[in-house]
Amino acid sequence: MDTLKIDRVSVRYHQHTAIRDASFSARAGEIIGFIGADGAGKSSLMHAIAGVGAFDGSIRFHNTLYRSPAEAEPIKSMTALMPQGIGLVLYDMLTVQEHLNFFADIRNINKDASFIAYQQRLLQMAGLEKFTDRRAGNLSGGMMQKLSLICTLLHRPKLLILDEPTTGVDPLSRIELWDILDQIRTQEGTIILVSTAYMQEAARMDRLLLFDEGEIIALGSTEELIDSVRPMTYVLSQQTDGITTRDATYSIKPLDFAHTEPTLEALFFVNALKKGRSLPPITLSTHHEDYVRDSVIMEARGLTKRFDGFIANDCVDIRLKRGEILGLLGANGAGKTTFIKMLLGLHPIDGGELELLGRLIQNTSDRQTLKASIGYVSQHFALYNDMTVRENLLYFAAMRSIPFEKAVDKTLLYATELGFDIYLDELPLNLPLGINQRFSLAAALLHDPVVLFLDEPTSGVDAIARAQFWQLLIALKEKWGISILITTHYMSEAEFCDRIVLLRDGKKVADDTLEELYALHPNAVNFEDIFLEYYR
């Protein structure tokens, strides 16, 4: 008999339906993965099951049937919820040990010898046993998530609900988190519901639920789901009908090409095709401006940044050439963002030399003259949600003191080439994420920079939007000769970069092209394996 049964659950916020008629069931010890774009209804369903949000329909867990959060009270001693967001349930001011005490107390756990032993084991699994005196606010993102997880595990829940526990967490911490989960479910027979944005993780689940626009559109094991999209997956071709990504073409109409082995990501592309949701194509025209392909755009020599007590960047040497995409990778706290902020002049440089466009940066006036050649897109697109796309772009143009007529022409040109001209008079909030990304990039490109700095632009973005974003970046590089420095924590995105710099604890540990890195690590199947080689 199924331990958990979800029967036609819907969650509504005012007029908007977050999830409609969701039904599924789970057995003890099963891990079920929730995958889907942001806003597809994963979190809402999780909140309903955890009994923290109102819903319609009914849920049964063991022998308790509940239709509202109030009726769910009896199951809360057996369940645990880890909401989305790093360290969301932690108190910055409390230490690791104080968290464990607090959660044990509010769950009224008997602190006997077996609990102490269990707690110690959890600390060891999370690698936190040496940090029991450290305050949560001073932990890295990965450590915070591991602490959150072991705090929710203290009362040995029978139903564990984890909302994107690994998003934004470095690969090593992710692996450790998964090891903890695997142990817990085999030892305790816990049902684990977990949502994730990483498809490699999705493959580890027993079953997957695919969410789209408030509905569960597919349910099954990884193999079953992949089988379902195999007929629509073809080898890479120049077919314009379907969606073409880096390694495959998807089409619901039969094509004359050979099939290829799909990945889980294919589910999203095929679904988008079925719903007729493909975005307008990108048609960049080639800039005929002459440039020396291998000229150096940015050169950092021994760049160092110290914060009180620790060194965020320790003698980092990085060189970015014209028309090159350089990926800056590393775990949380490795110093990626600090480095970008030094390049932009948001942090003063504590040591070393920085040369931008052949000019040594010594003071703010050096920067001021270079601002016109640099574009920057921050982690959260800095768009004004109450202005239309056109107004946003004209505003950014005005900030860069581009003459109004020129700005109008340029906005129209970029909108046409980047395929968002039909959305120019819409508000950003009403647009698909992929379109918002395009026009944020357009805003950063209005003043014709030769180099773009992008700080985790794809964080929290779904597979389709990510794939399209990278297509655009590659087009910018190839057609316009723009150099791009990008940080990301999706290891799979390293495959799109020409050159990769790996940071660890503020130091550069690798700096090579993708091919050279694969040659150095012949056993690596994907870039994540290479990353782990440097981090182990």
Partner 1 sequence: MKIRVIKAYIYKELTELVRSRFIIMVFLLPSMILLLFGNGIRMEVSGARTLIVDHDRSPISYRLISKFEHSKYFNTQILPISEAEALGRIKQARTDVVIIIPESFEKRLLHGQTTQIGVFADAAFPSRGITMETYVKGVILDAASEFGHNQANGSITINQRTLFNQAMRDEDAIVPGLIGLVLLVAPAILAALLIVKEKERGTIFNFYASPLSKSEFLAAKLIPAFLLHSLNIFVVFLWAVYVFDVPFRGSFFLYWAASEIYLMISISIGMLISVITRTQIVAVVFTIIITIIPGFMYSGIIMPISSMSGMSQIEAHIFPVMYYNHIVYDVFLIGEGLESAKTLRYLLILLFYAIVLLSLGRLFLRKELK
Query: Which residue ranges make up the site for partner 1 (CB under 8 A)?
Result: 47, 50-54, 69-70, 73, 76-77, 79-81, 83, 85, 88-91, 93-94, 98, 101-103, 105-108, 135
**In this structure, are residues 66 and 75 in contact, taking their beta carbons and an 8 Å threshold?**
yes
**Nearer CB in complex with partner 1: 83/280:** 83
Q: How far is the CB of 433 from partner 1 (least distance, A)?
A: 23
Q: How far is the CB of 488 from partner 1 (least distance, A)?
A: 25
**In this structure, are residues 45 and 7 in contact, taking their beta carbons and an 8 Å threshold?**
no
Beta-strand relationship, 483-487 and 325-330: parallel
**Nearer CB in complex with partner 1: 108/364:** 108
**Nearer CB in complex with partner 1: 97/278:** 97
**In this structure, are residues 501 and 508 in contact, taking their beta carbons and an 8 Å threshold?**
yes
Q: How far is the CB of 82 from partner 1 (least distance, A)?
A: 8
DSSP letter (8 states) at residue 438: H
Structure tokens of 416?
């046409």
Q: How far is the CB of 473 from partner 1 (least distance, A)?
A: 33
- For the chain, give the longest Cα–Cα distance: 76
**Nearer CB in complex with partner 1: 69/352:** 69
Q: How far is the CB of 24 from partner 1 (least distance, A)?
A: 20
Measured at the CA of 444, the angle between CA 282 and CA 247, to 5 degrees, comes to 35
Q: How far is the CB of 105 from partner 1 (least distance, A)?
A: 3
**Nearer CB in complex with partner 1: 52/311:** 52
**In this structure, are residues 335 and 502 in contact, taking their beta carbons and an 8 Å threshold?**
no
Q: How far is the CB of 310 from partner 1 (least distance, A)?
A: 21
- Element holding 424 (H helix, E strand): none
**Nearer CB in complex with partner 1: 94/532:** 94
**Nearer CB in complex with partner 1: 77/283:** 77
Q: How far is the CB of 348 from partner 1 (least distance, A)?
A: 27
Euclidean distance between CA atoms 212 and 38, whole angstroms: 9
**Nearer CB in complex with partner 1: 162/199:** 162
* Sheet containing 159-162: order of strands: 79-82, 159-162, 191-195, 31-36, 207-212, 215-220
**In this structure, are residues 2 and 29 in contact, taking their beta carbons and an 8 Å threshold?**
no
Structure tokens of 141?
């993102």
User: How many other C-beta atoms are found inside a 10 Å radius of the C-beta of residue 462?
Assistant: 21
